[in-house]
Amino acid sequence: MSWYNNNDTSFIDATQIFEGGSGNIIGGDGNGTGESSVLTDILELKLDHFENEYEESEPTLTYNLYLKNNNIGGEIRFYTLNGVDYNDVSNNNLEYNSKIGTNGKLYLYYKYNPLISALIFSGWTDVIDYIVGNRQATINNSATLATTTTLLQSQITTLDTALVATDSIVATNVANIGDHELRISAIETEEAIEDIEDEVLTNYLSSIRDNLSTNAQNLFDDLVAFTPGSRLITTLQTIKSLRLQLIANLFQAVVGGGVADGFDDLIYILTDIYKD
């Protein structure tokens, strides 16, 4: 195949010397290596399969451009004027940041940037492996997220059930606490009333006891004064000596056993006195 340029006579047949510009391709025998390379060893417009139909028995044909390097260990490097300014290789030894490696895969040079990642350092990155690795990580994360979501949903359902049960228990306890508070208040009120009643009753009975003692003393004194020397005086003196026990028995009977028991004690004492 021949190439022509009507405006530049220095561009001649691809199998010949290319002269002009900043460099040249040395003509050779077409072996495709070293200085023997010709333009067709580097660039080839080839009629072959369309896109990904390379496994089809009868693929659609189209012209595809091939950029080639047939040298052992050779790479295809993409040079730009300012590429050297966007890597951190010392002494400007790296003038490009993208290449096709000897394995035919695309590599990009990454310059360390802690704002992007503090753990990924400068160096060449296998683009396809990096993309596939991230894709797989995304798939793994999606699966983990789905599992975690299912687990969380199950736990949420369990918590909802437990919360409903807890609400019921709390409501019951609140009701019981309210009932207990009412009972405690009633007991405290009853005890307070009983304390007041006991104090009032004790004071009242003490007053009666004192009055009985005083009046009995006065009565005995009067009777002795009006009936000197008689058997009645002896009886009255005996009753007088026992008046405190009588009054105490009456008081205890009223408080403990009732008034009837107190009178029974009185009759017993009088019977014991007069049996003589």
Per residue in 70-89, pLDDT tens? 889 999 999 999 999 999 99
Q: Give the three-state DSSP class for 95.
A: coil
Tokens of 273: 């006195």
Once rounded to an integer, what is the mean pLDDT over residues 220-244? Answer: 62
Highest mean pLDDT out of 20-34, 69-83, 183-197, 223-237: 69-83
The residue ranges of DSSP E strands in the chain, in sequence order, are: 43-49, 61-67, 76-79, 96-100, 106-110, 123-126
Once rounded to an integer, what is the mean pLDDT over residues 110-115? Answer: 95
Tell how far CA 28 is from the center of its chain. Answer: 75
d(CA 230, CA 228): 6
Per-residue pLDDT at 9 exceeds 60: no
- What is the pTM (predicted TM-score) of this model? 0.47
Phi, psi values for residue 81, rounded to 5°? -60, -40
Residue written as token pair 């400068």: 122
d(CA 240, CA 135): 118
The reported pLDDT for the residue numbered 11 is 43
What single DSSP character describes residue 86?
G
How many of the other CB atoms lie within 10 Å of CB of 151? 10
Question: Taking the domains of the chain in order of start, what are their residue ranges?
Answer: 1-72, 73-121, 142-274
